[in-house]
Amino acid sequence: MSHLYGRREEEEEGVEVESFEVTDWDLANEFNPDRRRHRQTKEQATYGIWADRDSDEDERPSFGGKKSKDYTAPVNFVSGGLRKTAAEEKQHQQKGEGGSDDSDDDGPSAPPPSRSTAPKKLQMGTFRGSQSQRFAGGIQTGKGIGNWEKHTKGIGQKLLQKMGYQPGKGLGKNAQGIVNPIEAKVRKGKGAVGAYGNERTQQSLQDFPVVDSEEEEEKEFQKELGQWRKDPAGPGGKKKPKYSYRTVDELKAKGKLAGRSIAASAGELAQVKVIDMTGREQKVYYSYSQMSNKHSVPDEGPPSLSTQDQKGSGFALPELEHNLQLLIDLTEQDILQSARRLQHEKDVVVSLSHESRALQSRLNAEQDSIQRMEAVLALVERFPSGEMAPGEGPTLQECARIFETLQTDYYEEYKSMGLADLAVAVVQPLLKEKLRSWDPLKDSSYCLEDIGQWRAILESRDLHSSGPDSNMDPYHRLLWEVWIPVMRSCVSSWQPRIVGPMVDCVDVWAPLVPLWILDHLLEQLILPRLQREVDSWNPLTDTVPIHSWIHPWLPLLQSRLEPLYPPIRSKLSNALQRWHPSDASARLILQPWKDVFTPGAWEAFMVRNIIPKLALCLEELVINPHQQQMEPFHWVMDWESMLSPSSLVSLLDKNFFTKWLQVLCSWLSNSPNYEEITKWYLGWKSMFSDVLLAQPLIKEKFNEALDIMNRAVSSGMGGYMQPGARENIAYLTQTERRKDFQYEAMQERRDAESVAHRGISTGVPTNFKDLIQTKAEENNIVFMPLVAKRHEGKQLYTFGRIVIYIDRGVVFVQGEKTWVPTSLQSLIDMAK
């Protein structure tokens, strides 16, 4: 219903307010609904309400009324708040009053009320002019912006403040938005956008300092526009010919063969006629190759028929052009063929030179190999042969130096020809001659350095022999054929009871002898001799104890001696059949075997042969408080370290405490002297060790004796009682039980400390390697294994700057030519 109302303007707080009253113009418009209406123009469709209106437009006027068109005003879009000067506004207002008389004569419709009725400070000119001074709704530019918010709850300002907006600053995360409103710039004329150059204002240059590239775009546009212009000379003008030059290098790079020969070899597709209509003119090609190369040369190719007609027949010589083109193609083909031949020859030269260098290097290598083989042959010929006299050949040391030279200077020939096997044939006679007069029992270290030197030369790290076979290592074969026969003859004449020299000899040679040869010596030669000697041993007649010549072999033979133990125990059992505990020699003979026999075998031997004899001795013991014979009891208690605590406690319980308690009861029943009883009790208790007193059964028996004495004192048994006897017995009982309690507490505390100590540290080293580790930590020496480094299957270690390995509890240090055993203290001194 807005078209039924007129409008009026009134000033209220500087704001232009629309008035929707019914005017005469509205009544006339309603009574003449069929009045002529104008069709919407193109300008109105483009600019909408901001379009300029014609003076004869017969429609309902808008807020600005129907005003005459001002052709002097600039053509612009929505103004950003510019205001005309007072002179221009006055001139424009006068024109508006003059144009109001020239109203349309279309029916009874009357024009809307003029703006002259509004106050002077609110007269804004025509509607077009007013649009440049205010926004929609009639609010003037820059006045009262945001006043409408006072009629609301202010949600917009609150939302902006919640999102970080601060009044007076720009919007955005970093306050990069503009603060001032968009500033408009008046265009000079009525041209389109960009017709008068750059229209950016000073404010936009400050807010958006971007380089303007419109001039560059204009230049590019003019350049592209010139490419589509027609030839200024016209179709009849004379066109300057273009020449195309091609160098030999370009022709080689292109690498094509022109001419009919190449076109003929291309197959049937090369004869296809191709009409090219992609350009401005129609072109005809006679092969696909010509079409693919049509852009290689500018304006290259035969001219079209229309061009030939336009040029006329002034100087048209097609035969000459054809011949020239043919000559050019042939020349290009010859150049390309020559270039290919030259390249082929160069490739052949490179290949032949490479082959020549390879053959020359191979020839040099062969000559070098021949020279090295001659040198090796010269060294080998120096070895002793069968034709030489016994004293003419080189000595063992010279042979060792020859082999060292072969290994260091001619290692490849030494390995490929297997010269290590030659050492067995060369060195064996010399070494056998040297060891012929050797007695291992008298001089165990004889020839030890020579064998160690040959071990460093001949022993291979790759071969690990385990027996005498064809693939035996040369060093192993040398020892098997030279050293073992000497040791075999020595062991056969050796007396096992003279154990020292043989054990020393084996200990000295063990680091140099391979493991399987050492096992053969111990198991096949020495152990059978020990078995035969044990079989002939008689413990009753032999004056030399058997452990004196068996136990020294324990570090070397270890568990291999197990077959010797049953016959030894059997012979000892036979010898103990007539033994009496008063004879201390049996204990001296058996004591070294306690840690050698297994715990079960030792306990069984004691129960079978010793405990019955001790039980008989205790049964014969007479307990007499007035005249006591203690020798039998001492004989029994001397075996405490040999017997297990359980066996000894059981023996005392059955054969001693029964009689001892009976004597105590009978003594208490005959008016005893309690001081003597107390001394007697403490004397017997002092005969037992702390280990036995800690046993529950022994403790129970002594507590039982205290209880008997307390009952006797309490009941007055025996008649007359000494004064203070009851207090003395009570004090004794309390003292003894306090001692038991303190001993138990101390034992528990000691056990807890030992458990805690084991939890904190590993404690005492369990093997030789742990001992070395402990010593290294004490002396600040680095002790660590070498990765993937072994010697005879043993792990190699670095002890400071020294390389060592451990074999059966012995440390071996790497010397110049061999591994040498050493002590732990010497190793620490060398590392420091």
Q: What is the pLDDT of residues 541-560, one digit of tens each?
A: 888 888 889 999 998 888 88
Copy the structure tokens of residue 481. 């054929």
Which of 163-172, 182-191, 611-620 has the highest average model confidence (pLDDT)?
A: 611-620
Q: Is the pLDDT of residue 349 over 90?
A: yes
* Whether residue 671 is found in the same domain as residue 728: yes
Establish if 458 belongs to a structural domain. Answer: no
Establish if 167 belongs to a structural domain. Answer: no
Establish if 209 belongs to a structural domain. Answer: no
Establish if 292 belongs to a structural domain. Answer: no
Apex 382 CA angle, 378 and 387, nearest 5: 120
Establish if 750 belongs to a structural domain. Answer: yes
Output DSSP code: residue 41.
P
* Whether residue 745 is found in the same domain as residue 774: no
More confident residue, 113 or 169: 169
Establish if 619 belongs to a structural domain. Answer: no
* Whether residue 776 is found in the same domain as residue 717: no
Round to whole Å and give the CA distance between 165 and 182. 19
* Whether residue 721 is found in the same domain as residue 781: no
Query: Cβ(536)–Cβ(553) under 8 Å?
Result: no
Q: Name the phi and psi angles at 799, rounded to 5.
A: -115, 90
Q: What is the pLDDT of residues 488-512, one digit of tens each?
A: 999 999 998 888 999 999 999 988 8
- Domain span holding position 820: 768-830
Establish if 422 belongs to a structural domain. Answer: no
Query: Cβ(729)–Cβ(713) under 8 Å?
Result: yes
Q: How confident is the model at residue 103 (pLDDT cuts 50, 70, 90)?
A: very low
Q: What is the pLDDT of residues 22-44, one digit of tens each?
A: 877 777 777 776 665 567 788 88
Q: How confident is the model at residue 351 (pLDDT cuts 50, 70, 90)?
A: very high
Domain final residue pick, 714, 731, 754: 754
* Whether residue 681 is found in the same domain as residue 724: yes
* Whether residue 750 is found in the same domain as residue 772: no
- Please name the helix (run of DSSP H) or strand (run of DSSP E) that holds residue 653, with its range, or none: helix 645-655
Round to whole Å and give the CA distance between 53 and 771. 114
* Whether residue 674 is found in the same domain as residue 749: yes
Output DSSP code: residue 781.
-
Distance (Å) of CA 631 to CA 620, 621, 802: 11, 9, 60
Q: What is the pLDDT of residue 629?
A: 85
Q: How many CB atoms lie within 10 A of CB 617?
A: 20
Q: What is the pLDDT of residue 75?
A: 54
Round to whole Å and give the CA distance between 391 and 143. 133
Which of 288-302, 489-503, 752-766 has the highest average model confidence (pLDDT)?
A: 489-503
Q: Is the pLDDT of residue 352 over 90?
A: yes
Establish if 775 belongs to a structural domain. Answer: yes
Q: What is the pLDDT of residue 4?
A: 41
* Whether residue 744 is found in the same domain as residue 711: yes
Q: Is the pLDDT of residue 344 over 90?
A: yes
Question: Burial of 35 by CB count in 10 Å (0-12 exposed, 13-18 middle, 19+ buried)?
Answer: middle
Number of domains in the chain: 2
Which of 39-43, 117-121, 445-449, 753-757 has the highest average model confidence (pLDDT)?
A: 445-449
Q: Is the pLDDT of residue 136 over 70?
A: no
More confident residue, 676 or 749: 676
Query: Cβ(62)–Cβ(49) under 8 Å?
Result: yes
Q: How confident is the model at residue 375 (pLDDT cuts 50, 70, 90)?
A: confident
For the entire predicted model, the pTM comes to: 0.48
Q: What is the pLDDT of residue 761?
A: 47
Q: What is the pLDDT of residue 699?
A: 86
